[in-house]
Amino acid sequence: MVSADRIFSIASPQEFDSSCLEIFGYQSHHCAVYAKYLALLGIDPDTVKQPEAIPFLPIEFFKQHRIVSVAQEPELTFSSSGTTGSVQSKHHVADVGIYEKSFRTAFEQFYGAPTDWTILALLPSYVEREGSSLIYMVDDLIRESRNPLSGYFLYNHQELFDRLQHLKATGGKTLLVGVTYALLDFVENYRADFPELVVMETGGMKGRRREMIREEVHDRLRDGFKVNAIHSEYGMTELLSQAYSTGKGLFRCPPWMKVVIRDTNDPFNVLPDGRTGGINVIDLANIHSCSFIATQDLGKTYSDGHFEVLGRFDQSDIRGCNLLVQ
């Protein structure tokens, strides 16, 4: 079994591929649901010798099944938001320390130490429910910032505006993480005019507003905050890792995570860069569940290592990772 330390020290494509195969070998025998899925596909795990040949487990399985690769009881269970009456996905996390290591390491790689930042969060629909992996991450990053001005805002937009104006006047690095609809609600009534601010949107509309293409959302937010770019976070309940975009909707993964694109008509066919299809995610931090997930998101990869999220499959659940249809 690949250790967590080894996963988070991956430094080359070769190390990633080697870890992929080792984790697949383990999970194909120890994750009962994944093993049954492979058997139904007629795939002998021992014949899989290349990462490209690893099958991806449909993400819907997290709704009806317990996706685990270890016998121990979970330390924590994350659940998806979904919509009223829908079945929630559940991710049983055997070792929450791996999740903490994943998001802390990724944040530092993309943004530096949390202690360098004042971190503000506008995540009302997440704060108001239990089991959010995003709230667990943001809670930790706010604590790690060790800044008394860091914190959450629900619908108290005036207080958030005042905090932003104070931070603009005093200088220092400020990050505002917000669910997309709440950020749009804010800029409809306030103009922060804070060019140095990093605005990171996540989570989409959550059924609160009409769907909008990414360019329209980002144009409104750029204008409202007077910033040059809108950052984004791509993560979900079923994953323990996040990808980040520093602008234009182009995401990059940390070294232990990878996105590949599948043909929408043939889910076992991987598409080349530049072609639109279903997003498959390899998340090696999921060592105790399943690291190979076929999501319901649509996107494309690029030769420089970035990927783009373009929307969702028709009739798939409204969920937290991304709702911007293009």
Torsions phi, psi for 304 (to 5 deg)? -85, 5
The verdict on residue 41 lying in a domain is no
CA distance 54 to 39: 13
**166 vs 129, more confident:** 166
AA letter at 220: R
The verdict on residue 250 lying in a domain is yes
The verdict on residue 21 lying in a domain is no
* Helix (H) or strand (E) segment spanning residue 309: strand 307-312
The verdict on residue 47 lying in a domain is no
CATH of the domain at 287: 3.40.50.12780
The verdict on residue 91 lying in a domain is yes
Is the pLDDT assigned to residue 250 strictly greater than 80? yes
The verdict on residue 206 lying in a domain is yes
AA letter at 242: Q
Is the pLDDT assigned to residue 57 strictly greater than 50? yes
Total domains, the chain? 1
CA distance 168 to 68: 46
Strand ranges inside 135-208, DSSP E = 151-153, 173-179, 198-202
The verdict on residue 17 lying in a domain is no
Is the pLDDT assigned to residue 324 strictly greater than 90? no
AA letter at 5: D
Percent of the chain with pLDDT over 70: 92
CA torsion through residues 103, 109, 111, 116, sign:
positive
pLDDT the model gives residue 319: 40
The verdict on residue 24 lying in a domain is no
pLDDT the model gives residue 303: 97
Is the pLDDT assigned to residue 80 strictly greater than 60? yes
pLDDT band at 213 (very low <50, low <70, confident <90, very high): confident
pLDDT band at 313 (very low <50, low <70, confident <90, very high): confident
AA letter at 21: L
Q: Which of helix, strand or coil describes residue 194?
A: coil
pLDDT the model gives residue 56: 98
Structural domain for 191, as ranges: 58-326
What is the reported pTM? 0.92
Lowest mean pLDDT among 113-117, 124-128, 177-181, 223-227: 124-128
